[in-house]
C-alpha cells in the first residue's frame, strides 16, 4: 500500500514537472508580418487566421500579426522569412521575382484576368499549385492565394488618354512587368516599397501610382492624389507563405490543424476582398478629395493596345509556358 502510494506520488510529481516544462517552453509562435493596414483584405484575413489557428490548436500555437511594415519592408520581409526571423508572410505576387521565381510576375500582365472567376481557375487549379511548389527550393512553403482586387490609376491630373501619362513619375511594386507596362503608357516607373509609396506621393517624389482602392484609401493616398481612374487594368493578389523548415518541423497534427485554419481564413479572405474594395471606393468618393474617372470604350481600347506589347516583351522573362498556360486557362 505504502509502495503504491509512493509510486503514485512519484508519477504525479513527474507528470506535474512535465507539464510545467511544457508551459515553460510556451506555445509555438508564428510571427506573421505584412505591409498593409489592418483594415484591408490581407490585414483582416491575417487576424482571422490568428483567431482560427489559436482556437483550433487550443492555444498551442500563438500567431503574432505585425501589419504596416512594422517589422520589415517588402524586400526585407522575404529575407527575414528565409532566415527564420518571421514564419509567415503574404507578399503580393508582384514581389516574388527577387527570390528567383519570375513566373509569379505573370499575374502583373495587363488585363490578364477578365474577372475573378478566370483568376480562380488559375490560382485554385494546377497552375496555382505548380507555382507554389516552385517556392520549395527557396526554403519556402506556399499555403494559399489571397485576393486583393483589380487596380486603379491615380495622379494629380486626369488619366484618361495616353498623352496624360507622358513622363509622369509613377510608383510601382518591384516587378519588371509593371515597369514595362508603365513605360508603354509613356510614364516613368519608380519602384518603391509599399511603406514608402504614400510619403513619396505626398512629397512629390512620385506623381502618381496604381493600386487597389482598399490600399489607396487605408494609406490615405486619396488625400494627396486629386484624380483617379477606375481602369481595372491589372490584378493585385498574394501568396501566403511560411518558412519551410519551420513548417516541416511542426508536429504533424499541429501542421494539419494550421492548414485547416488557413483554408478557412482563405475562404473568408475571398469573401471580404471585393466588398472591402467597393467600400474603400465609396469612402474615397465620400471624402470628396479626388475626381473619379471611368474610361470610355475608345479610351479603354487605347490603353489595352498600348499595353499589349508587354506580353511579347516579358514572355521569356516570366516563362513562355506559364504565360501560355494561364492564357489557355483564362480563355477556356
Q: Which residue ranges make up the site for ligand LMR (CB under 6 A)? A: 35-36, 92, 148, 173, 194, 211, 215, 236
Rg (CA), the chain: 23
Comparison of 65 and 162: residue with beta carbon closer to ligand LMR:
65
Question: Which strand (E) or helix (H) includes residue 329?
Answer: helix 320-331
Comparison of 243 and 277: residue with beta carbon closer to ligand LMR:
277
Report in angstroms how near the CB of residue 145 gets to ligand LMR at its nearest: 13
Report in angstroms how near the CB of residue 307 gets to ligand LMR at its nearest: 18
Report in angstroms how near the CB of residue 14 gets to ligand LMR at its nearest: 49
Q: Closest Cα partner for 311 from 110, 123, 104, 150?
A: 110
Question: Which strand (E) or helix (H) includes residue 230?
Answer: strand 227-230
Comparison of 145 and 194: residue with beta carbon closer to ligand LMR:
194
Comparison of 128 and 237: residue with beta carbon closer to ligand LMR:
237
Q: Closest Cα partner for 151 from 118, 113, 179, 185?
A: 113
Report in angstroms how near the CB of residue 212 gets to ligand LMR at its nearest: 7
Structural contact between residues 151 and 210, judged by C-beta atoms closer than 8 angstroms: yes
Residue 162 burial by Cβ neighbours in a 10 Å radius (0-12, 13-18, 19+): middle
Structural contact between residues 116 and 147, judged by C-beta atoms closer than 8 angstroms: yes
Comparison of 159 and 200: residue with beta carbon closer to ligand LMR:
200
Report in angstroms how near the CB of residue 169 gets to ligand LMR at its nearest: 16
Amino acid at each position: 500500500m505504502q509502495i503504491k502510494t509512493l509510486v503514485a506520488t512519484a508519477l504525479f510529481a513527474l507528470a506535474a514537472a512535465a507539464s510545467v516544462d511544457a508551459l515553460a517552453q510556451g506555445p509555438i509562435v508564428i510571427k506573421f508580418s505584412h505591409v498593409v493596414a489592418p483594415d484591408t483584405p490581407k490585414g483582416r484575413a491575417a487576424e482571422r487566421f490568428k483567431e482560427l489557428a489559436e482556437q483550433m490548436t487550443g492555444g498551442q500555437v500563438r500567431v503574432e500579426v505585425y501589419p504596416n511594415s512594422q517589422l520589415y519592408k517588402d524586400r526585407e520581409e522575404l529575407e527575414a522569412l528565409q532566415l527564420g526571423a518571421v514564419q509567415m508572410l503574404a507578399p503580393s505576387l508582384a514581389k516574388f521575382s527577387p527570390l528567383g521565381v519570375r513566373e509569379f510576375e505573370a499575374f502583373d500582365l495587363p488585363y490578364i484576368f477578365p474577372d475573378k472567376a478566370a483568376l480562380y481557375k488559375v490560382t485554385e487549379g494546377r497552375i496555382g499549385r505548380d507555382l507554389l511548389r516552385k517556392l520549395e527550393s527557396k526554403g519556402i512553403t506556399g499555403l494559399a492565394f489571397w485576393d486583393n482586387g483589380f487596380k486603379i490609376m491615380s495622379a494629380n491630373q486626369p488619366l484618361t488618354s495616353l498623352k496624360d501619362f507622358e513622363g509622369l513619375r509613377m510608383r510601382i511594386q518591384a516587378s519588371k512587368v509593371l515597369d514595362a507596362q508603365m513605360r508603354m503608357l509613356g510614364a516613368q516607373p519608380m519602384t518603391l516599397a509599399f511603406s514608402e509609396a504614400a510619403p513619396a506621393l505626398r512629397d512629390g517624389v512620385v506623381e502618381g501610382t496604381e493600386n487597389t482602392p482598399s490600399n489607396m484609401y487605408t494609406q490615405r493616398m486619396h488625400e494627396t492624389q486629386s484624380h483617379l481612374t477606375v481602369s481595372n487594368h491589372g490584378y493585385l493578389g498574394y501568396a501566403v507563405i511560411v518558412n519551410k523548415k519551420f513548417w516541416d518541423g511542426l508536429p504533424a497534427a499541429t501542421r494539419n490543424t494550421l492548414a485547416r485554419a488557413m483554408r478557412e481564413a482563405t475562404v473568408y479572405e475571398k469573401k471580404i476582398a471585393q466588398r472591402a474594395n467597393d467600400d474603400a471606393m465609396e469612402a474615397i468618393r465620400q471624402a470628396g478629395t479626388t475626381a473619379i474617372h471611368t474610361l470610355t470604350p475608345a479610351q479603354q481600347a487605347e490603353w489595352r493596345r498600348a499595353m499589349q506589347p508587354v506580353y511579347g516583351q516579358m514572355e521569356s522573362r516570366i516563362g513562355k509556358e506559364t504565360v501560355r498556360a494561364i492564357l489557355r486557362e483564362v480563355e477556356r
